[in-house]
Structure 1
Amino acid sequence: MIALVCFCFTGIFAAGYDFNKLSSLAKLRYGDEAHLNILELQQLISQLKTVPEVEKLKKINDFFNQKINYAEDIDLWSQSDYWATPLEAIGREAGDCEDYSIAKYVFLKTLNVPNDKLRLTYVRAEINFDGIRTVRAHMVLSYYPSPQSEPMVLDSLVPEILPASSRKDLTPIFSFNDKGLWIGSSSKPKADAGTHLSKWRDVLTRMQADGIE
C-alpha cells in the first residue's frame, strides 16, 4: 500500500554503496541466503558497469523481480504501509510494489544511470485476480531515455520492460525521485523531492544506515 504524507526533505541521495557493510548486515540479520544474494548483486553490479544502459535496465529489473517475492506489508512487516530498504527486501526475499521499484532505482543509480532518467511512479493499475478485474494503487520505476521521450516501465507485475504506451493497464498519478515530484505525465517537476512523501525520506535515512548513501 502507498500513502501520501506531507514532509519537507531537501537532501540529495547520491546512491553510493558499501557492499562490505551490506553483506555483513545481510548475514547478521537474515542469514546465509541473504548474504549470498548480496554477493550475487555485488558481482552483477561489477559486470554491468560498462554495458549499455538498456542492458543495465534489463539485468537489474530481472534480478529484483526474481529475488523478491510479492508479499503484502501487513503480512511481512505487520504494518499497513511500509517502504523497505533494498537490504530488507533482499533479506526477507519479499516485498511489495514500492520495494521492487526502490531497489531498482537505487542500484541503477549506482550503475551511473542519470537520476533525471529515473522516476518512481505511482499509478492506478488494473489487475486481474482470478478472473476479476480490480483497480489498485501500484508503483513502478519509469526510465526516460531522453527528457521528452516516452518512458519505459520497469514493473514487478510484468517482467518485460515496455514503453508506457503499451501499458494501458497503468494510469500515472505522480512520479518522483530525489530531486523532484511530477504530477501525472508532466515533464516539469512541481515540488522538491520528498515534499509529499515522508516515507521516501524515512527509507533514504534507513538505507544510509544499511550502507547505501
Structure 2
Amino acid sequence: MKKYLLLFITALLSADGSLAELRLQDYRSFIQETLPFSKGMQLERVNLYFNHIVNNYDIHTWGVEDYWATPKEFIVHGSGDCEDFVIAKYFTLKELGVSPADMKIFIVKVKDSQNYHAVLGVKNDHNETLILDNISWKILPLQKRTDLKALYDIKDPALNHSTDPLIQHVLKNFKILQSKINAGK
C-alpha cells in the first residue's frame, strides 16, 4: 500500500499528462493484485487505496459547485469529494466481482453537521451492511456508525417518483455520471 500512497503524494506535485497515465497504470495493477483476495479483503484494500486520494471540494477540484467524477476522472485528477470516492469504490468493487445488488450508495447526514455526505454500503457474507467512507479508514457495519444517519440509497428505484429537489438533483447527477461512464470517460 505504501507505493499507492507515494503515487498519490507524487500526484500532488505534478500535473503532467504522463502522471495521469501512471495513475491509471497503477490502478490497473491494483485491480489485478486485488482480484484473488476474498470479498472482505477486497473491501479493505479498495477503501485504503482510494482513501489515499486527496479529499477536496468540487469548487476547488473542478471549478463548479457540484461535479460527479467518473472513476477514471477521479483517479487521473487525484482529488475529489465524497461522492467521487463512493463512485470509484463502487465501480472498482463491481469490476472485482462484487454484485451491484450487494452495494448501496447512501446519502447520509453526519452527526452534528448540516452537510450531506455520501458513503458506500456493501453487504458482507453475514448480511451486514458495511460502510466504506472517505472520512473513516475503518470499515464498520452501518449500525455501528452512530455518527451517520442514512437518508436514502440513490440506487433505490422508488426515488424516481420523489419530488424532493435534493433527491432529484442527486438522481440527475447519477444519470449524467452513468452516461459518462458508458461513453468511456
TM bucket (normalised to shorter chain) is: 0.7 to 0.9
Matched, 1:65 2:51: yes
Matched, 1:35 2:21: yes
Cα distance in structure 1, aligned partners of 2:145 and 2:23: 30
TM-score by length of 2: 0.81
Cα distance in structure 1, aligned partners of 2:80 and 2:96: 23
The residue type paired with residue 158 of structure 2 is K
What are the superposed Cα offsets for residues 86-116 of structure 1, whole Å, 9 maximum, x if unpaired? 1111121110000000000001000110111
Q: Which residue of 2 aligns with 1:5?
A: none
TM-score by length of 1: 0.70
Q: Which residue of 1 aligns with 2:38?
A: 52
What is the Cα deviation at residue 30 of structure 1? 6.0
Matched residue SS, 2:134: coil
Question: Paired residue for 2:177, among 177, 198, 203?
Answer: 203
Q: Which residue of 2 aligns with 1:99?
A: 84
What is the Cα deviation at residue 191 of structure 1? 4.9
Matched residue SS, 1:165: helix
- The answer as to whether partners of 1:123 and 1:172 remain within 8 angstroms in 2 is yes
Q: Which residue of 2 aligns with 1:168?
A: 146
What is the Cα deviation at residue 153 of structure 1? 0.3
Unaligned runs of 5+ in 1: 1-28, 127-132, 182-188
- The answer as to whether partners of 2:40 and 2:124 remain within 8 angstroms in 1 is no
What is the Cα deviation at residue 134 of structure 1? 2.8
Q: Which residues of 2 match residues 3-42 of structure 1 at below 5 A?
A: 31-42=17-28
Cα distance in structure 2, aligned partners of 1:71 and 1:36: 21
Cα distance in structure 2, aligned partners of 1:155 and 1:30: 29
The residue type paired with residue 206 of structure 1 is K
Q: Which residue of 2 aligns with 1:142?
A: 121
What is the Cα deviation at residue 135 of structure 1? 3.1
What are the superposed Cα offsets for residues 121-141 of structure 1, whole Å, 9 maximum, x if unpaired? 100013xxxxxx533100000
Q: Which residue of 1 aligns with 2:7?
A: none
Q: Which residue of 1 aligns with 2:163?
A: none
- The answer as to whether partners of 1:30 and 1:92 remain within 8 angstroms in 2 is no
Matched residue SS, 1:141: strand
Cα distance in structure 2, aligned partners of 1:89 and 1:30: 15
Matched, 1:87 2:75: no
After the TM superposition, which of the residue ranges 98-107 and 163-172 deviates more from structure 2? 163-172
Cα distance in structure 2, aligned partners of 1:38 and 1:62: 17
- The answer as to whether partners of 1:30 and 1:91 remain within 8 angstroms in 2 is no
Give the total of aligned pairs.
163
- The answer as to whether partners of 1:89 and 1:95 remain within 8 angstroms in 2 is yes
Structure with greater helix share of residues = 2
Matched residue SS, 1:135: coil
Matched residue SS, 2:138: coil
Percentage of matched positions with identical amino acids: 30
Cα distance in structure 2, aligned partners of 1:83 and 1:206: 10
Runs of 4+ aligned structure 1 residues displaced above 6 Å come to none
